[in-house]
Structure 1
């Protein structure tokens, strides 16, 4: 990856970040994926006392169904327990395949358990903070939510955090696809709208032209 592409991708990275300040909550909701560092982040937050309940949500999505056979949430929960989170403080939702289902199916699971957390800390990959937030706000608007992620710079994430089966170019393509969804999905009823600055969208268009288009929504 040359420096020009790197800088364009980093612009998207910063836009996807929300930089929310952590607040104590009723539940930590970890949105699972290929990135097991997200599981570690959720477990650490629980162990630090930010919330008394830790929920893992994720079956096998577009990316992980070609990598794994065990649902994401089961793998993430096992990581949390290995780090010291008691099993009785963990809930697992392992049927969802996208962000909207993560929230919807978690809502159903909590209702079945007669649990009604009012405040959530959502944990996700760094470049999916914004998309997770706008999806949660659309699907479950009456709840208060803040979003966090593994604490890493763009370069640290590409070199240390991301799954070894996904090279940096693949991660950039995923970021590009997520930005497209932030623009498209409000009209489909999947997310609340977000303003996208002109320079961020211009970076997106240049990256698409450069071939980082593998995760775009195709009409």
Structure 2
């Protein structure tokens, strides 16, 4: 993988802005925290709970490729512990520990609260658009507000997920934006010329680790 120079950072910011879509927040039936390697998602859920935007939190997530061995148990359990440490009562939290992808996150949450009308979904900044696109297909009947920890691209990398890994993640998710609507996983999303160019430049620079192996093999030819 190439070094992260100023050109790479410029293209990475284009993808960051594309993925990190804005949604106004209002009160909801529950706050849904999508499990991942980033405990700041749990922090954001706790913050919204203390603001009174919902009286219940559901954390959803088993253990994925990026969190194997990172937590003692599931992502949901780790997020629950974090929220409790931030003052959220344990009885206000449900941990869903089976989901391994966004579609399953949505499906399992729907089975827990099938009659929900308004939900706040909390995820990583660079995953907001994918969550929105997935909800449009998997649970269009609910009013969904999507938020994330409020920080910049420079602040997103951490101990368990480097800047290089973050850029590769964003590149892979742009590919999914184009490919997944045909599979029924997500609703179609616009891909502007600036996003396509940034994607192409970052693929050329070698940030392809989050692309499916068959796609990577085609690009390497």
Normalised TM-score (structure 1): 0.93
1:102 Cα deviation after fit = 0.3
1:185 alignment partner in structure 2: 180
1:156-215 per-residue CA deviation (whole Å, 9 max, x = no partner) reads 223xxx3x0221101110111111111111110001111110110110011011110000
Two-structure CA RMSD over aligned residues (Å)? 1.2
1:70 paired with 2:65, answer no
2:207 alignment partner in structure 1: 212
1:66 Cα deviation after fit = 5.1
The size of the alignment, in residue pairs, is 211
Secondary structure at the aligned position of 1:96 is classed as coil
Normalised TM-score (structure 2): 0.92
Unaligned runs of 5+ in 1: none
1:47 paired with 2:50, answer yes
Q: Whole-Å Cα distance in 1 between the matches of residues 210 and 155 of structure 2?
A: 22
- Checking the alignment, whether the CA contact within 8 Å between 2:59 and 2:76 is kept in structure 1 is yes
Q: Whole-Å Cα distance in 2 between the matches of residues 182 and 99 of structure 1?
A: 13
1:125 paired with 2:120, answer no
2:136 alignment partner in structure 1: 137
2:218 alignment partner in structure 1: none
Moved over 3 A (4+): 66-69
- Checking the alignment, whether the CA contact within 8 Å between 2:171 and 2:208 is kept in structure 1 is yes
Q: Whole-Å Cα distance in 2 between the matches of residues 44 and 145 of structure 1?
A: 18
2:24 alignment partner in structure 1: 21
1:152 alignment partner in structure 2: 151
1:58 alignment partner in structure 2: 61
1:32 Cα deviation after fit = 0.8
1:23 Cα deviation after fit = 1.2
